Structure 1
Amino acid sequence: MLVRDAETIWNTLKGIICVYKPAESSVRRLRTIIINKICTGLNEMELTVSVRDNFADHPLVVGPRYQEKDLVVSWSNYLGWHSSGILIFGLRRGTSTAKYIRENLPTRAYRIKGTLGQATETGFSDGKVVERSTWKHVQPRNMDRLLSSMQAAHQKKMFEMCGVDMQSQLAYELALRGPIRPANSKLPIIYGLKCVEFEPPHFMIEIQCVNEYETYLASLIHEIGLKLHSTAHCTGIKCIRHSYFTLDDALLMKHWDLQNIITNLEQCNRVLNENDHLVRQESVALRR
């Protein structure tokens, strides 16, 4: 859409956008930047102004027509300071869509980098090193076996919480409906876990999960190090999928201007429309 009328653009700002969050930046700061970019772009566009004898409502008197406090924006997912990747924002009435996606407990996928041989105070590379260990004994097969075991343990825990025997027909039927969501929205659950890169002492894992948070993902790297009879710390976290949104849908910060934001909003609406029936099926399954 290429429209030069500010009022028309304002009326279309109702939906969600998908942006790429760089590491070492806060979600709140990015929200502020986006709001500022939108309002600045709108105020630079053509405005229809009716001037009468009373100039009290003229923009030169009252200030810019579109102000940051008037634009409601909320996030659907939250990424911590060390994390980068997909971030979903709801604009104006799109905040209800952002909330719907969030409360539907969508699975997310991350690629997490770790380094063997050192444990840090914070679990991240910027923390003080508190322990060093050997790592050359760790082989790819050791990593793959461990991750497979951890994934199986999480799946078993999920069925146990539902009071279902993993070998039963009910467990099979539940699995056919898709990933089982935990009733407790605070409990992280792993659905998939694999090593996608192994160049000792560095490695990268890909995880599919729900209810995760940044410190949990860092602690997972620490746990992997310990179970491999070594130590490890996290060197990077990237969210590569949130619900049905992937990195291909995410708008880079250098492209955060009004026209690109409008284009991204339209693209995200198409993604939602194409997958609406799947989202509703998951929502129904979640309530059972």
Structure 2
Amino acid sequence: MLAKDAPTIWNALKGIICVYKPADVSCNRVAKTVIHKICSELNEMDCRPPIDYVSIEGDPSGELTVITKPSLADDPLVVGPRYQPKDIRCTWSSYLGVNTSGVLLLGIQNGTKLAMRIRNNKLVRAYRIKGLLGLATDNYYKDGKVVEKSTFKFIKAFNIEKLLASMQAAHQRKMFDTCGVDLQSQAAYELAVKGPIRPSHSKIPLIYGIKCVHFEPPEFTIEVHCINEYEMYLKALMQEIGMKLHSTAHCTGIQCIRHSYFNLDHALLQKHWTLQNIITNLEECNDIIEEHKDLTIQENIALQYG
């Protein structure tokens, strides 16, 4: 429930919120928009009054009078609104590229420390990536210059499914290679029974699962569960799929549908970025984090992907 006075709300702004980042908008712009919305609505609520100015008046040789009155030096008309964007700390737990939309976690105030821990843990994220067969662009994305055209009518759904299964198997082998373990050894078996393997290096993108969820040539959509990924890597992945299908392809859209335990159901749409919804979302997100805080990173990855 939202309190009516701004100081109470201000003290409650501590934790993680989950918002839906639109495409073609930077994470920095999203954070600034949320901060501006919080400040504007806080300033519309009951804020603290100006501090009292105490003065002693009268004849020093006679009776003195102590007078208190609101200090003009602390009046909002003089110093500006009580709550300003520079007073709010905000950072994202993991960066989404400009062309990527979807689930974005933001740390507010003391929640920035938690957001940094989530960023450093590099947990699993899931994406829906749309592609278009028959055209290749210089930047692997739909706004790039077309550099090659090719036929695609011979490509069937089972061709993509077979290719994606092969790519997933290759990445699973890569997981053991990055750990320095022979795939046929007992050590590899012991690692496998513990669940999905976390890569030893934070800069190596690894795919835990990849499948085709929509195929209507020339358009198709794949779902990817991965770690350590970045936007250009996902765009290049679509181009690689086109080449391995003996055709061409480019990316037309990227949507993050899940980050750790947070999915699209938890994400606030831009039209819902109000103080009431932000506070409610913050409480829900903090409850989810509290529920899973005692799990190890390996257990978290296993639950998210498994």
- For the aligned pair, the TM-score class normalised by the smaller chain equals over 0.9
> 1:235: which partner in 2?
252
Q: Please give the residue correspondences for 1:199-218 in structure 2 after superposition, counting only pairs within 5 Å.
A: 199-218=216-235
Q: Percent identity?
A: 62
Q: Please give the residue correspondences for 1:238-257 in structure 2 after superposition, counting only pairs within 5 Å.
A: 238-257=255-274
Q: Please give the residue correspondences for 1:125-204 in structure 2 after superposition, counting only pairs within 5 Å.
A: 125-204=142-221
Query: How far apart in 2 are the matches of 1:161 and 1:242?
Result: 23
DSSP-derived class of the 1:248 partner:
coil
Query: How far apart in 2 are the matches of 1:181 and 1:98?
Result: 20
What do the CA deviations read for 1:189-213 (whole angstroms, capped 9, x no partner)? 1110111111111110000000101
Unaligned runs of 5+ in 2: 53-68
Moved more, 186-195 or 164-173: 164-173
Displacement after TM superposition at 1:284 (Å): 11
Query: How far apart in 2 are the matches of 1:151 and 1:167?
Result: 18
Structure 1 runs, 4 residues or longer, greater than 6 Å off: none
> 1:34: which partner in 2?
34
> 1:277: which partner in 2?
294
TM-score by length of 2: 0.90
> 2:110: which partner in 1?
93
- Native 8 Å contact 2:93 2:116 kept in 1: yes
> 2:121: which partner in 1?
104
Query: How far apart in 2 are the matches of 1:56 and 1:134?
Result: 72
CA RMSD across the alignment: 1.6
- Native 8 Å contact 1:75 1:98 kept in 2: yes
- Native 8 Å contact 1:119 1:232 kept in 2: yes
- Native 8 Å contact 2:50 2:72 kept in 1: no
Displacement after TM superposition at 1:251 (Å): 0.3
Query: How far apart in 2 are the matches of 1:107 and 1:87?
Result: 13
TM-score by length of 1: 0.95
Query: How far apart in 2 are the matches of 1:41 and 1:101?
Result: 29
> 1:56: which partner in 2?
73
Q: Please give the residue correspondences for 1:65-84 in structure 2 after superposition, counting only pairs within 5 Å.
A: 65-84=82-101
Unaligned runs of 5+ in 1: none
Displacement after TM superposition at 1:96 (Å): 0.7
Moved more, 264-273 or 232-241: 264-273
Displacement after TM superposition at 1:57 (Å): 1.3
Number of residue pairs the alignment of both structures matches: 285
